[in-house]
Amino acid sequence: MMDSIEKADSEVYEAIKKEVSRIRDGVELIPSENFVSKAVLQAYATVFTNKYSEGYPHKRYYGGNEIADIIEDLAIARAKKLFKCEHVNVQPYSGSPANMAVFFALLNLGDKFMGLDLNCGGHLTHGSSVNFSGKFYKCFHYNVDKETELLDYDEIKKIAVKEKPKLILSGLTAYPRKIDFKAFKEIADEVNAYHMADIAHIAGLCATGVHESPIPYCDVVTTTTHKTLRGPRGAMIMCKEELAQAIDKAVFPGLQGGPHDHVNAAKAVAFKEALQPEYGEYTKQIVKNASALADSLMENGIDLVTGGTDNHLILIKLNTKGLEGKGKDVQNALEEAGIYSNKNTIPFEPASPFNPSGIRIGTPAVTTRGFKESDMKVIGKCIAKVINKYEDKKVISMVRGEILELCSNYPLYPDFDILR
Ligand code: DSN
């Protein structure tokens, strides 16, 4: 597939080649990233990128959509089976537009809602003042508890009873523990609010029962399709049948134009893969690996938010090692060693969101690659070495060697010469 790019555009070809080397020779620990299968990658790169399909299957505005209908019907049917939900819209281009569509469908501008504060593990679209969700709507944030760094459901209830929001949003991007969706529903019911869950990070775990599914406890659930779910870049919205029309209208024509049919083809393939028993094993291994990595880090003297993890992600605290506000420097040092992470705020960040005191890592991508608990032990040690000596080029170079050796044991896309 790459020979045409090589001939037509050597600059883009060279960049793709470099990216392939980067991912093959490094340890990808950004918890929102993953490696799709060869089948998903191929479905994505198809002639469906050429088609316009405004509308929904069997109710399109343009001709020639019979085949695009097959694709979207397959994606919807498989997503419904995977998540056991009543209605699915697979058209959202990504997570933020999916969340925006739900807000458009269920709220009026200026309405009150609640979401987890970005600094404590929420997402921009959960009410940040710089995002549409905080600008167009009145957000009352809940935080984690200062001592335990865990969600405090009594506190969430107190805010809900006081502010009477129209919608309560549960969901995370940097919270390493399980979410009690039932508790959120009980709070939402008490104040007559919608309960919306954004499971972008944990969708794969929810689909296989490794994390409790929010579906029975929610009016609407959104997710991206490219994180633990291991599909192409994109999103979807799941809801009760009674909200189906409002959600569909909000996505199209409310917010988006034509769906990306090539992405829907890749989503359909990814959902089929996620319905296989091997995917269940994969999601279990994600959590086992995260837990092993957390243990290794702590054994090597690194402090973690909440003292560990029970999902796919880990939040390292740098401030307790005298590295307050050094997230960016540590992220860069890890990158030099071939370990990809992202700087992140920790709860009640003592420095600033631009120079935060945390590092966020996770195991979806390395687990796809085949890494197991013993490898996590090695990676934990490597990360600790870099954190302790993040300015020492000798240490970084030594760790780089260890990472290269580890990666050579797990060739990425082994049966797929990605450059051909
Ligand atoms: N950017 C995603 C993440 O890394 O968590 C959220 O949208």
Instruction: Reduce the secondary structure of the chain to three states and give it as a string.
Output: CCHHHHHHCHHHHHHHHHHHHHHHHCEECCCCCCCCCHHHHHHHCCHHHHCCCCEECCEECCCCCHHHHHHHHHHHHHHHHHHCCCEEECCCCCHHHHHHHHHHHHCCCCCEEEEECHHHCCCHHHCCCCCHHHHCCEEEEECECCCCCCECHHHHHHHHHHHCCCEEEEECCCCCCCCCHHHHHHHHHHCCCEEEEECCCCHHHHHCCCCCCCHHHCCEEEEECCCCCCCCCCEEEEECHHHHHHHHHHHHHHHCCCCCHHHHHHHHHHHHHHCCHHHHHHHHHHHHHHHHHHHHHHHCCCEEHHHCCCCCEEEEECHHHCCCCCHHHHHHHHHHCCEECEEECCCCCCCCCCCCCEEEEECHHHHHHCCCHHHHHHHHHHHHHHHHCCCCHHHHHHHHHHHHHHHHCCCCCCCCCCCC
One domain, residues 252 and 297: no
- 320 flagged as catalytic: no
Active-site hit among 227, 343, 360, 400:
227
| pLDDT tens string 240-279 | 999 999 999 999 999 999 999 999 999 999 999 999 999 9
One domain, residues 192 and 309: no
pLDDT score for 3: 85
Q: Tell the residue nearest (CA) to atom 5 of ligand 1.
A: 173
Mean of all residue pLDDT scores within the chain: 97
CATH label of the domain that carries residue 157 = 3.40.640.10
Give the model's confidence band at 67: pLDDT under 50 very low, under 70 low, under 90 confident, else very high. Answer: very high
- Interval between CA 173 and ligand 1 midpoint (Å): 6
Mean pLDDT of the region 319-348: 97
What domain count does the chain have? 2
Give the model's confidence band at 97: pLDDT under 50 very low, under 70 low, under 90 confident, else very high. Answer: very high
Name the residue type at position 224: T
One domain, residues 263 and 383: no
pLDDT score for 222: 98
* Percent of the chain topping pLDDT 70: 98
pTM, two decimal places: 0.97
Mean pLDDT of the region 188-193: 98
| pLDDT tens string 361-416 | 999 999 999 999 999 999 999 999 999 999 999 999 999 999 999 999 999 987 66
Tell whether 11 is covered by a domain.
no
Q: Tell the residue nearest (CA) to atom 3 of ligand 1.
A: 32
pLDDT at 42 over 60: yes
Neighbours of 220 (CB within 10 A): 27
| 274, 308, 333 - which closes a domain | 274
Range of the domain at 298: 285-407
One domain, residues 250 and 290: no
pLDDT score for 418: 61
| pLDDT tens string 121-161 | 999 999 999 999 999 999 999 999 999 999 999 999 999 99
CATH label of the domain that carries residue 301 = 3.90.1150.10
Our mutation pick for probing the ligand 1 site, out of 28, 29, 30, 32, counting the most ligand atoms within 8 A of Cβ, is 32
Ligand 1, pocket residues at CB < 6 Å: 32, 95, 123, 173
Active-site hit among 72, 198, 248, 375:
198
- 233 flagged as catalytic: yes
One domain, residues 85 and 136: yes
Mean pLDDT of the region 104-115: 98
pLDDT score for 413: 85
Mean pLDDT of the region 214-234: 98
One domain, residues 293 and 381: yes
One domain, residues 242 and 315: no
Q: Tell the residue nearest (CA) to atom 4 of ligand 1.
A: 32
Neighbours of 129 (CB within 10 A): 11
Give the model's confidence band at 2: pLDDT under 50 very low, under 70 low, under 90 confident, else very high. Answer: confident
One domain, residues 60 and 94: yes
Which numbered atom of ligand 1 lies nearest the CA of 125? Answer: 7
pLDDT at 419 over 70: no
Q: Tell the residue nearest (CA) to atom 1 of ligand 1.
A: 32
Tell whether 205 is covered by a domain.
yes
pLDDT score for 328: 97
Mean pLDDT of the region 168-176: 96
Our mutation pick for probing the ligand 1 site, out of 123, 229, 359, counting the most ligand atoms within 8 A of Cβ, is 123
